[in-house]
Copies of this chain bind each other. A is one copy, B any other.
Amino acid sequence: MSGSPQIYRASTTAPVNIAVIKYWGKRDTTLNLPTNSSLSVTLSQNSLRAHTTASASESYSGDDTLILNGEQEDIKSSKRTQACLKHLRSLRADLESKNASLPNLSQLTLRLVSENNFPTAAGLASSAAGFAALVRAIADLYELPQSPEELSLIARQGSGSACRSLMGGFVAWRAGTKEDGSDSKAEEVAPASHWPDLRALILVVSAEKKGVPSTAGMQTTVETSTLAPARFRDIVPKRLQEIEKAIHDKDFETFGRITMQDSNSFHAICLDSWPPIHYMNDVSRAAMSAVETANRKAGKIIAAYTFDAGPNAVIYHLEEHTHLVAGVIKSILPWIPGWEGEFGEKIQPNEFGGLEQKALMTLKTGVSRVICTGIGGAPEKIDKHLVDEGGKPVSL
Interface membership of A231, Cβ < 8 A: yes
Contact A272 to B264, CB < 8 A, known contacts A226-B235, A227-B235, A358-B208: yes
Please name all residues of chain B whose beta carbon is closer than 8 Å to the beta carbon of A230 when the two chains form the complex.
226-227, 229-230
Quick check: A271 and B264 within 8 Å, CB to CB? Answer: yes
Among residues of B, the one whose C-beta sits closest to the C-beta of A356 is B209
A-B complex: 5 closest residue pairs judged by Cβ atoms: A268-B268, A268-B272, A208-B358, A282-B282, A227-B227
Interface membership of A26, Cβ < 8 A: no
A-side binding surface: helix, strand, loop or mixed? helix
Quick check: B292 and A264 within 8 Å, CB to CB? Answer: no
A293–chain B nearest beta-carbon distance, Å: 12
A272–chain B nearest beta-carbon distance, Å: 4
In the complex, chain A residues 242-279 whose Cβ is within 8 Å of any chain B Cβ: 257, 260-261, 264-265, 267-269, 271-272, 274-276, 278
Please name all residues of chain B whose beta carbon is closer than 8 Å to the beta carbon of A281 when the two chains form the complex.
282, 285
A299–chain B nearest beta-carbon distance, Å: 15
Interface membership of A88, Cβ < 8 A: no
Interface membership of A202, Cβ < 8 A: no
Among residues of B, the one whose C-beta sits closest to the C-beta of A295 is B275
Quick check: B276 and A227 within 8 Å, CB to CB? Answer: no
Interface membership of A324, Cβ < 8 A: no
- Chain A residues at the B interface, C-beta cutoff of 8 Å: 208-209, 226-227, 229-231, 234-235, 257, 260-261, 264-265, 267-269, 271-272, 274-276, 278, 281-282, 285, 288, 292, 356, 358-359
Quick check: A227 and B261 within 8 Å, CB to CB? Answer: no
In the docked arrangement, what's the CA distance between A183 and B49, Å?
62
A284–chain B nearest beta-carbon distance, Å: 10
In the docked arrangement, what's the CA distance between A274 and B282, Å?
19
In the docked arrangement, what's the CA distance between A274 and B235, Å?
14
Among residues of B, the one whose C-beta sits closest to the C-beta of A359 is B208
6 A/B residue pairs, CB under 8 Å, sorted by A:
A208-B356, A230-B230, A261-B274, A267-B271, A268-B268, A276-B288
Contact A209 to B265, CB < 8 A, known contacts A230-B230, A235-B226, A281-B282: no
In the docked arrangement, what's the CA distance between A261 and B209, Å?
23
In the docked arrangement, what's the CA distance between A221 and B260, Å?
16
Quick check: A285 and B275 within 8 Å, CB to CB? Answer: no
| Partner pick for A272 among B209, B265, B274, B358, CB 8 A cutoff | B265
A206–chain B nearest beta-carbon distance, Å: 11
In the docked arrangement, what's the CA distance between A358 and B209, Å?
9
